[in-house]
Structure 1
């Protein structure tokens, strides 16, 4: 269906019957005149929505990958099957609710300014809108696993703007591209997700970091391969998957990294090291790690 064929404002919209009962046919309203949609959009704009969604998407991906038990760190990898990849969208709604300070509330996924809102995530090119979500306000998040980025839209997912036919077996339908272009409000443009340092390693380096040597030797190699790159706790847990106390092994690797690579490992857990890292331009938060050249650390400490 092209833009010219798409039903516009003023046209009649007849939703599919829902489990909760039929919804009456109604006239389409342009988003600019949809008061409820605008209220939800205004609330999202006032909140720190892009950063919140960024964290929610990253958390959902890491939850599904479960690196601390599976050694996996790349959602686009062949090690992740399609069902697992799709489950990111299912998990995402809970992380979005948490990050935006919302609550899980019927009749949809949550409420914003007292209005029901559906939350749909996808790792594909479209979203699957259930019958209960037809003609409702929907926050739609799209994840590009290959390029490690996401974007989000807010849309009143009218039945008239969804795909036709019988839908899938659950009668879920997707927003038409023309409708998305015309009637969706951008909540977040394409935004990069937090970096996964393990994706920066080449095949040879990965074979060492995930090799058969002990954890300390493998972590020493990891820091040596990635000087100046902030490494989150989750990446260390992935490298040391199924082993106990990986943070202790990472601390034990610090003198080895200095001896072998002339790099000082700074840890966000310790206030003095976190502050020193900040002086060097690294934001470790309370759990990040970074290996920096010894000469830089010494000159900074000396006030040079």
Structure 2
């Protein structure tokens, strides 16, 4: 591990096209006015919500489940170039979530300060020459554990690794990240992917070739009762077909007949309210198949609560 010189050391970025490579003295985070300004602006935002939505959307965009039937970024049917492209897709989604715009000389401006946006699905970020000694928002996506985290750092050249790739990009030294970055968001879970909880045998049934959408969806909900299933998962199961949500609505009776499950749809207010009675929070586009056992248990709890509330007062 390379040990980095700290604040007070001299630093000069590599030669770069759009920015001058001027020598300067490295400042501590508390003395770096621009860094503190960007930090303050970001910390006023709901970053957990912003970055979770951005990362989840970028991953799903790359997987393109509605056309490919893929739901696992680490699956053998996803190549390394596609995985690497998550970082590029994520950049624009973060800009959108934060209400920012793509602006040179870096990726965006925050309160007039140029800011670089970098993301990785590996363990390090590759900083381009124009990003050296500039402020960077660094997001790491760990799909093996379905989580993400983000740092803010001025990526001084002396805090980057010596080796560069063919494009002149350098990785952030681990010691520098630990000592000189400002954590914006600690490890934060991504939404669960229900399809990932299916066994290989169940997946072979749900994704069986030459099987209709209704049959696939009936199997899906039968295997995953009392599980909130987002629209994207349904589209993935019905990949390559038109109007899968209409097919899903048509499958409700078939699911009830085969599995005895009541399917509730988050797009409908009565269904959302009924799902809430069963302990499920449905967003628009979410689905859940409630088992009869759970429904009876919920009804029994409600009756018991009413009996407690209406118990005659002994002193009456």
Q: Same fold (TM over 0.5)?
A: yes
CA displacement, residues 101-155 of structure 1 (integer Å, 9 cap, x when unaligned): 2111222111112211111010111000001111111000111111111111110
| Map of 2:200 onto structure 1 | 203
Tell me if the contact between 2:106 and 2:116 (Cα under 8 Å) persists in the aligned partners. yes
Shift of 1:299: 6.8
Tell me if the contact between 1:128 and 1:173 (Cα under 8 Å) persists in the aligned partners. yes
| Map of 2:313 onto structure 1 | none
The structure 2 residue matched to 1:118, chosen from 96, 101, 116, is 116
- The gaps in structure 2 that reach 5 residues or longer are 304-316
How many residue pairs were aligned? 301
Q: Which residues of 2 match residues 202-221 of structure 1 at below 5 A? A: 202-212=199-209, 213-221=211-219
Could you tell which deviates more after superposition, 267-276 or 36-45?
A: 36-45
Shift of 1:45: 1.2
- The gaps in structure 1 that reach 5 residues or longer are none
| Map of 2:175 onto structure 1 | 178
| Map of 1:194 onto structure 2 | 191
TM-score, normalising length: structure 1: 0.95
| Map of 2:79 onto structure 1 | 81
**Cα-Cα RMSD:** 1.5
Deviating runs (4+, > 4 A) in structure 1?
Answer: 298-303
Shift of 1:196: 0.6
Shift of 1:32: 2.1
Take 2:190 and 2:19, find their aligned partners in 1: how far apart are those partners? 40
Tell me if the contact between 1:16 and 1:22 (Cα under 8 Å) persists in the aligned partners. no
CA displacement, residues 26-50 of structure 1 (integer Å, 9 cap, x when unaligned): 0011112211111111111110011
